Structures are given as C-alpha cells and as structure tokens.
Amino acid sequence: MGDEKKDPGSWGSGPDFMAIMKIASAYWSSRVLHAANRLDIFSKLDGREVTAEEIARDCNSDRRGTGILLIACTSLGLLNCKDGKYSNNELSSAYLVRGRERYQGGIVSMFDDWYMPWAGLPESVLTGKPSVHKPHDISDEATRNYIMGMHYRGVGQAYLLADTVDLKGRGQILDIAGGPGTFTIFLCKKTPGLKGIVFDLPQTLKITREIIKMFYAEDQVSTMEGDYLKDGFGSGHDAVLLSSMMNQESPEINKRTFKKAFDSMVKGGILILQEQMLNSDKTGPALSALIGVNQLIHTPAGAAYSDKEITGWLEEAGFRGVEFKTLSQPSPFTVLTAVKP
C-alpha cells in the first residue's frame, strides 16, 4: 500500500482543482481596487500616461508599493500599461474618475468600509447578531459615504428602471426609504407631470436634497422626513417604490411595510418593488445569496428572500396582479409590480 502511486493524470478528471482557491482568494482582487480607489489613482491618471514613480509622487506613496499595485490593477483590467507608462482604460475612465456621470468610486469606498465587518462573519453565524452598526448609527461622514455610494451605483439602474416601468398618467410616486432618491429622480424626469416624494430619515435626506439639486429636479422631487419602521406613509399616492430594502428587514416588518404602502395608495395605484431576489428553491443566484450574508453582518433580522415569499406577502397585504420584469444585463435586479384593486 505504501508504494502505491497516484496517476497524475487523474487530476484532470475531477472538479476544477483551482475552484476552491479562486473563492478563497477572491478578496485579493477587491482589496486591490479598494486601495487604488482610496489613493484616488484613477482620477490622478485622468488624461495622462505616467510611470509608477510619477504616480507614487502624486500619491505620496512608496515607489515599490505603488508599482506593485499598478501592476495588479493592470492585470485585473483596470488600467493600461505601455512602455512602462500607466493610463486609464475605458472601464476605469467611465466609472472610477471623480466627476464622471457614471462614477462608482463612492460604492467602491462603501465596500472598502465593509471589509472589516465581513471579517466578523464567523462570529455572526455563531451568534446570529450583526458585526457592525448601520451607517446611520455611526456618523454623518459614514452616512454620506453610504448614500453617495448607493447613488453612484444606482444611476445605471435608474436608467433601466425608467425605461421598464410606465408611469404615464400617474401624478405622485412615494419612494419609501429612498436614500439618495436616484430612482425617483429618473422616473420623474422620464414621466411628464409625475411628482416624486423621497421618504427617509432626516440624516439621509440632507444628502438626498443635494442630489436632487445636482439633477435640477427641485420642482419635481421633494422629501418627507420619517422612519418607515414607525411612521405612516401619508395618502393619495398612485405609485409607491420600494427598492433594495426588503432584505434589510425581517418578514414581519416587510409585511407591515407592504400593508402601510397599500393603505397609503389610491385605488388602482401601482407598487414597484426592485430587488435582488432568491429563486423559489433558494439555491441562488449567488449575488442574491451573498446579499443575504451581508444582511447577517449588518442587520439584526435581514436576509435574502425568494420571489415566492415576496409575492405571498404582497398578496397578504391586499395587492393583486403581481408581475415580474427581468431587466436587461448587466443589471442583477428584478422589478416586481403589483396593483391595489
């Protein structure tokens, strides 16, 4: 038995022997992006082709460390390198340079901030408790990073949502826990006569109002201070939007939120729910499942929910005519609509 030899060719007949390592080391790539974004390398490279030494001077960083980071960014498809000079490529130029319309550096910073809380995942699994407080519980700066991150992430999604949901003829949409208000701004810009109300906490709405001004939408979108866990949603709304908030809360709170939304709407009003949902069997998609893990880390009762669960809660609240609309790639969201009969 001791002399038995394994056929080295057998490695090729089983599962991918690198699959586990790819998952185990996946954070290496994200930390490279976090570091480059934190140093604002992509903005510093805007319109330039420069050496690692020049970037190190601009960043006041170590030459060796900067060179290693730039090589990694290039290997990940975030930069170009020619003759020892680095420059932005189409991807980084579009999404990682400050001031660009589709800038996503804010959400990269948000995920950077989440790195240490994710290190607490094993403890959260053992205790069922989050490893971090929500940004609203920490500071104005943390809230700003979170809300601006959600805005920059949401701009591309907002274009798709406005093209997917027809709100012609409707006068008022309430955006519950609307955060930056990005989706409501784009829906109102797309729909003549539609007025929007972004409902959220006072600390959040300070940033929301800035974003509304950025889009010159003060005449179309207003704000309403309140806590969706405690307060009512007013009345007379012929459309209500709930986006990326169901997975933050328990099933009981979600059911209560749906009922309050139902009660605030006029007959024939439409509810729009935009989420990354699990399938009915709760086997995926992977991103939705990982969002559930993120809720374990950040919230006391949140989880990822299936399309079947959410449909049941809506019908229990009184909604009818539930429909699903899959958005075009690369959006990971599903849009669900339901009507108050």
- Mean pLDDT (whole number) for 7-19: 74
- Please state, in angstroms and rounded to a whole number, the distance separating the CA atoms of residues 68 and 229: 47
Contact 160, 332 (CB under 8 A): no
- Please state, in angstroms and rounded to a whole number, the distance separating the CA atoms of residues 336 and 258: 13
Is pLDDT above 60 for 94? yes
For 267-302, what is each residue's pLDDT tens digit? 999 999 999 999 999 999 999 999 999 999 999 999
- Mean pLDDT (whole number) for 141-153: 82
**Least confident among 82-86, 182-186, 268-272, 326-330:** 326-330
For 231-269, what is each residue's pLDDT tens digit? 999 999 999 999 999 999 999 999 999 999 999 999 999
Q: In this structure, what are the phi and psi dihedrals at residue 38, rounded to the nearest 5 degrees?
A: -65, -35
Enumerate domains of the chain plus CATH numbers.
16-101 (1.10.10.10), 118-339 (3.40.50.150)
- Residue 274, helix vs strand vs coil: strand
- Mean pLDDT (whole number) for 334-338: 95
Contact 36, 78 (CB under 8 A): yes
**147-163: b (≥16 Cβ within 10 Å) or e:** bbbbbbbbbbbbebbbe
**Its pTM surpasses 0.75:** yes
Is pLDDT above 90 for 328? no
Is the Cα torsion angle 327, 331, 334, 335 positive or negative in sign? negative
At 25 the pLDDT is 97
- Mean pLDDT (whole number) for 70-78: 98
Is pLDDT above 90 for 78? yes
The three state secondary structure string of 113-179 is: HCHHHHHCHHHHHHHCCCCCCCHHHCCHHHHHHHHHHHHHHHHHHHHHHHHHCCCCCCCEEEEECCC
